[in-house]
Structures are given as C-alpha cells and as structure tokens.
Amino acid sequence: MAQAAVSPGELVGEGATHAAGPPAGIELPDFEIVPRRGLPIVAVVLAAVIAAVAVNKLWPLMFLHVVGGASWTIIDLFLGFVLGPILGSLPIPARIALTTRLMPKMVLIMPTAVIVTLTAGWQLGVHMGTVESNYFLHGWVVASFIVVGVMAVIALGLLEPANIAVLTELKKPQPRPEVIERLMKRFIYTAGATGLMQIATLVIMTKLATG
Amino acid sequence: MSAHGASSEGEARLPPVTQLGMASLALIVTAGIYLSAHLPKHVPLAPAIALLGASALLLAGNLLALSRVKGFAWTRFLQIARWAMLAYALIAGMIEYVFVRNHTSGGPLVVLTLSLVVFAVHVPVLIGFTVARYDET
C-alpha cells in the first residue's frame, strides 16, 4: 500500500539544515495524525463489510471487493508513480503542506481499503467457489494470495509504521529533517515496490474475471 | 534525543525489530496462504504450525530484545502501540469473523486465530517502535 509523501531529501533539501527545527521560513500546519472526523465513515464502511459477509449475497460482496480493490490499486499506483515524482519537484513548503494534509487521510483510507478488499474478496471467493483448490484457475488464485501477502508484509512492516512516525515527527515543535528524510526514503522505495506489485494484481484479477 | 534516536551511534544499539517483525509477518502470511491454497481439502497442519511457531518465537524475541534496550522511549511506544493495537485487533476480529462465518473449525481455526493474534500484536509493536526510536527525551 503506497502512501504519498515526498521524495527523499525533501525536507533536507535546499534551504533546510540538519539542525533541529523546520527549515527557515516554513510553518508547520496543525493537523491530526488520525483525522477523527473520518472515523465514523470508516465505521460505516466496516459495518457494511460485516453485513455483506453475513448475508453472503453476490452483489454486495462483488461491489465491496471491486470498490475496495479499485481504490487500493489506483491509490497505490497514483501515489507511487504520479504524485510522488510531482511532489519531488515542488517547493519545500508546498511539500510539507501537502504531506501534512494528505498523509493523515492515508492513515484511515489505506487500511480501510485493504481490509474491505480482502474480507469481501475472500467471502466472494467462497461464495463463487474460486478459492477452492479444484477451481480451474486455482494457480492464479494462489498467485493473488502471494502477491497480496507480500504487499501486506511491506505495508504493515514498513509503510504504515513510517507513515505514523513521519506524522508524529511533524507534530513536534521542532521536527528533525534528517529523521523525516530517512522515513521518506522508506516511502519512495516501498511505494515503488507495491506499485509494481499492483500491476501484477491487475493482471491476475483480469485473468480471473475473464476466465 | 533518546539513546536510540536518529544518530548512527544510537541506531547501532537498537535490535533489528523491524526486520524481525517483517520476517514474523511473512511467516504467518505464508502459513495462511498454505492453508488457504488447499481448501476445502484436508491439509496437514504441521507446516502451518511450524510457521506459526517460528513467527511467535520471532515476536517473543523481538519483545525481549526491545525490553533490554536501555533508555527506550516506552511512554511514546505505548502511547502509539495501544491505539494501533486497538485498530489491528478490530481488523483481526473481522478476519476471524469471516473464518467462523465460513465454518472453519478445529485445527485450522486454531492456527489461523493464533496467527491473527501474532499479527495484531506485532504490527502495533512495529508502529510503536518506529515512532519511539525517534522520540526525544
């Protein structure tokens, strides 16, 4: 799961120093690491997933799996390959402004998109019989498990912790540029890796959909 | 700055929590894929149990190694990890619900449930660690 951020060195680039505190002339906006206003929306979405699994009807499961999966894939690709490079060319204050507005939303959006996709997708597979080992495209299904598993380990072990750590650092009165730079490097490399894996996901899912 | 802040000297004193955590997660993910790939056939549980056991050992080792770090920012760690644990416990609960909903039972359910426990503990540990290692005291 890619998280948008800024390129390595963004906050230690021109105009920044390695001394404590943000670069001169840059104001850090106030923000919530976890936007509380978004929590009710997340709760509604998760409730919808539980309801869909409980009723086990094709359309709600398909809807949630497609919406969640499309969101996950598109956000990963967009942030990893479109917004990330653009951010690298922005002035430092603009990068900080965008990062402090975008990344808190990612804290809510990405885990929600992932859990919706996986939960609805598994139940959909059970409903349609595509997760059973006698399914004629079983190898493709197992390949999707592997791709998702690798992405999950990268996202949970690297991206999500770094996301929270960057936001926590930016909340400090004097965030340290070198810390942010180090964490941002994680974003760039792992976002690229998960973005590439999302292409594999698209190949697998379109193959499963067409038979 | 804490003893394990951003300085390279501090970094050297920290155990490889992130690396071990990712290895642990990879092991339980592998166990999950192994079990899922054989549905609905009966599948020998020994490989999944071995993977789960290795994952749990890495979790225990991680916590032990972390507990021995002098001057670690435990307050910050707990501040972050407890909320993360709440979120990931919720996620784990949803996955568990799907297993139960689909009549998973017996040994596979035990293995999957324990895997989710490892997941719901280890991810918050990783998040808390990543934040706390850069905490200033």
Which of these, B72, B82, B73, lies nearest to B121 by C-alpha position? B82
Is there a contact between A104 and A168 (Cβ–Cβ < 8 Å)? no
| pLDDT surpasses 80 at A22 | no
Q: Give the separation between CA B16 and CA B13, rounded to whole angstroms.
A: 9
Q: Pull the structure tokens for residue B52.
A: 């789960």
Task: Provide mean pLDDT across the span A187-200.
Answer: 83
Q: Give the separation between CA B74 and CA B66, rounded to whole angstroms.
A: 10
pLDDT at B62: 94
Rg (CA), chain A: 19
Least confident of A105-109, A133-137, B6-10, B93-97: B6-10
How confident is residue A99, by pLDDT bands cut at 50, 70 and 90?
Answer: confident
Beta carbons of B94 and A158 less than 8 Å apart:
no
Task: Provide mean pLDDT across the span A111-135.
Answer: 93
Give the torsion sign (CA, B97, B100, B106, B108). negative
Q: Pull the structure tokens for residue B125.
A: 């540990």
CB pairs under 8 A between A and B: 97
- Min Cα distance A145 → chain B (Å) is 6
Q: Which residues of B touch A165 (CB under 8 A)?
A: 127, 130-131, 134
Q: Pull the structure tokens for residue B103.
A: 């009549």
DSSP class per residue in B98-128: HHHHTT--HHHHHHHHHHHHHHHHHHHHHHH
Q: Give the separation between CA B124 and CA B129, rounded to whole angstroms.
A: 8
| pLDDT surpasses 80 at A133 | yes
| pLDDT surpasses 60 at A27 | yes
Each residue of B48-85: pLDDT tens digit? 999 999 999 999 999 999 999 988 999 999 999 999 99
Q: What are the residue boundaries of the structural domains of chain A, listed by start? A: 10-15+31-210
pLDDT at A90: 79
Q: Which residues of A touch B32 (CB under 8 A)?
A: 145, 149
